[in-house]
Structure 1
Amino acid sequence: MLKILSKKLKRQLRLLEYLFEGDSYRFNDLENLLGCSAKTLRNDLLDIHSYASDIKIKMTRGEGVKATILPHVTEDYIYHVIKQESMEYRYLEAILLHKFKNYLELADYLFISESTLRRIVDKINPTLHRYGMKVQALIKLTGNDQIITEMTVQFLMEKYHYFEDAFPENFRSLILQLIQAFIEENGLQPQFTHLEPQEEKLFYFWVASRILLLQNEESISSISKKQKKFRYEQLSVERLRLPKTNDLINEQLATYIFDKPFVHQLFDIESASMKNPIILALNNFIKEVEEKYGIICEDKQRIFRKVSILLQQNTVPFTVYYKKNSLFFKNNHSEMKEIQLRFWNKMKHAMHNHSILLNDFEGFTTTVFTEILLYWPVLLKMFEENKQVRALVVTNATLKYDDYLLSNLEHQLGNRFEFILRKNKTISQALINYENYDCIISNISIDKSYNIPVFGISVFPKAREINNLIHFYQELLA
């Protein structure tokens, strides 16, 4: 959905991505990279200064253009502010999350004119048509309900760090009761307990998005009982009601919410099938690497499941993220590049032989390769020296998220980093010098500057944030 951004915001997003890397750029270099004039570049920098308050841009004749980014700011911030500036994204969010009686009510909600509303629809409809959707009567999105659900989930996941922040308490309470009844009746407690917090959040937003869709639709299509993989008798007895329409959630509505491929994959109801040519090619690739280096990929099944979900989501690439910068490790080792090329060729061969088409083959394969490295850290470690970086982790999250953050960092970086956690307590330069830390990792703003690097980290660490820490580790080795 990057195409629906205005030309101006596309350029400003690219500019933010360049500056986010932390390098200094001469004006002439940025003009050439962005294909714009000096006047346009200066106007863009002033615009960014007005809406991206956590990124401070310095412009000097000697050093050129450089951004100072507050330590707690993570990669998703730049995409969030761009989407907030985009009227097209605000419009899409409005019709996904709300129901409007007519276009005048929607125009009033967005503080725009009817003519602007029509221009937005004319702009985004061609992109929506590629995925079998369209905007009807300016106020409603029509098309495949599963694709609309996945689109809504993606909007919510990118906007809210925590499920608790997304909805009013009564709506959250309904979702939690609904999920609890569903889990208990179908005996899914073991699978639910082992979901990663990010997967659990994804599941909550999926259920919320299905309910939003139910409330915004006039009716739902009939569902064949042969498709059902879950039971809903106990859930129906709970007599839970949809918040707006006050309809009782019966067996048909519960089936509409839960009996979908995403939920099947999440709970391994339909585990990653080795009959899937992409999964089969991935399995063969991992076996070849295991045999060549004499190492075992212990999280192979988790990788397969991740890829299965990625394949499901690949049909709806509505994110604004640039694939080229969001993934892949900054590792120049020639043998690692050879491994990636082998993987790329194996994926391409499998897709060609089985006539599989993906919206973004390069982005998909890069994402999968990154998942392999993240869940198989011993493979990447083979090309690095033995040395640990001492990192002070500073958070203000709950114990549950702290435990998850540390376990995730330990799993992906534990043989490179030694992590020491402090719960939002006083940090001093004397403490850092005494403990001999190499860097600080934090999900909150750290006001004071220190003589060691500070890295922003999400509670659910993103691939690029992990990549940056690996890159820092590699720099220390150089």
Structure 2
Amino acid sequence: MRLLLSKRDQRQLEFLELLIKESRITLNQVSEISGYPVRTLSSDIIQMNSYLESIEVETGPNGVALIIPKDSSIREIYRLILEQSREFQLLIYLFFNKNKSQEDIAEELFISISTFRRMVSTLNEKLSRSEIYINSGPFRIEGNESNISKLYIALFSELYDDIENITEVGKYEILIELCQKMAKSGGFALNYPDRTRIWIWTYVRLMRILSGYHLAGYENSGKNLNFEVLRDKEFCEKFKRVWEIELSGDLLVELFHLFLRPEFVRSIADIKKLKKHSEYHRGLDFRIETLFNVVAKALKISTEDTKELHIDLFNIIQFSDTPVYALYDKNKIFTEGFLKNNKSIATIIFQKIEEVFSELKNVESIYAILYLLVTHWPSLLGKIKDKAPKVQMGIFLDTDVEHAEMVSDLIRGYSRLKIEILNSTITEAIDLENSLKNIDVLITNIPKFKVSCCEEVVCINEYPTSDDFKNILLAEERIYQKKIMNRQVY
């Protein structure tokens, strides 16, 4: 969906994504990489800082850096890009407002009518690839209803942290109640992320239905839905009163057929049932097993603990038609972080996914599969942990062993590293040098303490302060990242 952004917004997003990858970079380097003039990039920095709120693009003699406060993350950057985008502002406006003229919309969005017309023309050209278009007289979104739903579901998922704020009083609560009732009748409980996803889908679909737009070709998908909720007359009346539409079987099928369809599996037994009558599902199951085997062979790990993962992959791959993201691809961000810290293992997994699922044309699906493998496969997690670089930490104080032991216990509350206490083994300077040969981070209470064989020396107070703990963790991270960069290919 980033293609829907204006050229300026696309350029600024590229700039920000480069800053996400680089801790600090000069404007000349950014210009060389991106092809945009330094003057344009300098103007972009001023403009980006005007809408990035607490996030800042910091400039200085050493270059440009992205400063993200502790209560925020990369995800917020993408949300703010969406929020300030005129193109997406228009799409959101058309979702919530009917029978508006171009004059009304231009005034609401604080743009000229000529700008509005150009924007609609450009958007229609881009949206046509998804069989979506902005109709006029009055202005409205029309076209492939399934793709329209995916567009708004992805958009709302990234724009709004609290979905309740975009609905009228009472509508959120009763729709959540409906989702919970349908999930219960389907035999499963909703966790918070699932509830949010289903709520956004049902909200978008219900709003579109109220505007007269219906999905096509879904009728048979919900034939196994449980309509027990329709027996609750009090709830049905309340739903009709709040949403001004009758809760019927047809409405339930259109709202929930994607999430409660019969192909959704909850067990290996469910997979076996599908395989009996479907060549596609037999092939899918075979390829999932193949993926487990080739990854396990390459990394020398077990496949005995892949049962739950098998079920998750089966659902994710067969339902790849469900909405994914607007700008912020969680799986991509995860994959890039994992690849940066575990390049050798990540490369192997990525290659095996591409080999087994060669028909997958979009890299987003590969990101989703890799995410599941890495986070849901215990043996693989164990392998990753074993292959992670080890940082050795030691402590040497000019007091006594008991003091060193107490300080070590305090530090362990902040760091997972084992700490070697050196006080009791060192009597001469040569002993210290020998003891430090395998130590990456040395903690001491001696100011300006000089050692030649230790990369990081952190001086702490007699009773460590919060700044001391912070300095220790930063030193640990520097060593860890350096070892990742220097690590041999697996």
TM-score (norm 2): 0.70
3-state SS of 1:327 partner: helix
Asked if 1 retains the 8 angstrom alpha-carbon contact of 2:219 and 2:253, the reply is no
Alpha-carbon distance in 1 for matches of 2:81, 2:225: 40
Q: CA RMSD in A?
A: 3.8
Looking at CA atoms only, which structure, 1 or 2, has the larger radius of gyration?
2
Q: Which has the higher helix share?
A: 2
Q: Residue 343 of structure 1 corresponds to which residue in structure 2?
A: 353
Q: Residue 197 of structure 2 corresponds to which residue in structure 1?
A: 202
Inter-CA distance 145–269: structure 2 relative to 1 (3 Å threshold): farther
Identity over the aligned pairs, expressed in percent?
20
Cα displacement string for residues 45-95 of structure 1 (whole angstroms, at most 9, x for unaligned residues):
11111111222333222x111222101211211111111221011111222
Q: Residue 312 of structure 1 corresponds to which residue in structure 2?
A: 321
Asked if 2 retains the 8 angstrom alpha-carbon contact of 1:211 and 1:257, the reply is yes
Q: Residue 363 of structure 1 corresponds to which residue in structure 2?
A: 364
Question: Offset at 1:335?
Answer: 5.0
Inter-CA distance 387–126: structure 2 relative to 1 (3 Å threshold): closer
How do residues 24-173 of structure 1 correspond to structure 2 at under 5 angstroms? 24-61=24-61, 63-137=62-136, 139-173=139-173
3-state SS of 1:293 partner: coil
Question: Offset at 1:31?
Answer: 0.9
Inter-CA distance 242–7: structure 2 relative to 1 (3 Å threshold): farther
Alpha-carbon distance in 2 for matches of 1:106, 1:170: 28
Between 37-46 and 301-310, report the one with greater CA deviation. Answer: 301-310
Alpha-carbon distance in 1 for matches of 2:242, 2:302: 58
Q: Does 1:215 align with 2:210?
A: yes
How do residues 72-471 of structure 1 correspond to structure 2 at under 5 angstroms? 72-137=71-136, 139-184=139-184, 186=185, 188-189=186-187, 191-192=188-189, 195-217=190-212, 224=219, 228-232=223-227, 234-235=229-230, 237=233, 238-241=236-239, 246-258=244-256, 260-264=257-261, 268=265, 275-276=280-281, 277-278=283-284, 280-290=286-296, 292-296=300-304, 297-305=306-314, 307-308=316-317, 311-313=320-322, 318-319=326-327, 321=329, 327-328=335-336, 329=338, 330-348=340-358, 351=359, 358=361, 361-385=362-386, 436-438=413-415, 450-451=470-471
Alpha-carbon distance in 2 for matches of 1:223, 1:306: 18
What is the identity, as a one-letter code, of the residue corresponding to 2:379?
A: V
What is the identity, as a one-letter code, of the residue corresponding to 1:216?
A: S
Alpha-carbon distance in 2 for matches of 1:23, 1:433: 30
What is the identity, as a one-letter code, of the residue corresponding to 2:79?
A: H
Alpha-carbon distance in 2 for matches of 1:373, 1:293: 13
How do residues 16-27 of structure 1 correspond to structure 2 at under 5 angstroms? 16-21=16-21, 23-27=23-27
Asked if 1 retains the 8 angstrom alpha-carbon contact of 2:181 and 2:229, the reply is yes
Cα displacement string for residues 407-440 of structure 1 (whole angstroms, at most 9, x for unaligned residues):
xxxxxxxxxxxxxxxxxxxxxxx9995554039x
Count of residues in correspondence between the two structures: 399
Cα displacement string for residues 80-111 of structure 1 (whole angstroms, at most 9, x for unaligned residues):
11112210111112223443444333333323
Alpha-carbon distance in 2 for matches of 1:324, 1:203: 22
Inter-CA distance 135–347: structure 2 relative to 1 (3 Å threshold): same
Question: Offset at 1:134?
Answer: 1.6
What is the identity, as a one-letter code, of the residue corresponding to 1:281?
A: R
Alpha-carbon distance in 2 for matches of 1:110, 1:243: 32
What is the identity, as a one-letter code, of the residue corresponding to 1:374?
A: T
Alpha-carbon distance in 1 for matches of 2:482, 2:265: 36
Question: Offset at 1:126?
Answer: 2.4
Question: Offset at 1:150?
Answer: 2.2
What is the identity, as a one-letter code, of the residue corresponding to 1:256?
A: E
3-state SS of 1:312 partner: coil
Between 380-389 and 164-173, report the one with greater CA deviation. Answer: 380-389
3-state SS of 1:89 partner: helix
Question: Offset at 1:306?
Answer: 5.1
3-state SS of 2:47 partner: helix
What is the identity, as a one-letter code, of the residue corresponding to 1:17?
A: E
Q: Which has the higher contact order (CA 8 A, sep 6+)?
A: 1
Alpha-carbon distance in 2 for matches of 1:438, 1:210: 47
Q: Residue 5 of structure 2 corresponds to which residue in structure 1?
A: 5
Asked if 1 retains the 8 angstrom alpha-carbon contact of 2:265 and 2:311, the reply is no
TM-score (norm 1): 0.71
3-state SS of 1:117 partner: helix
Question: Offset at 1:379?
Answer: 0.8
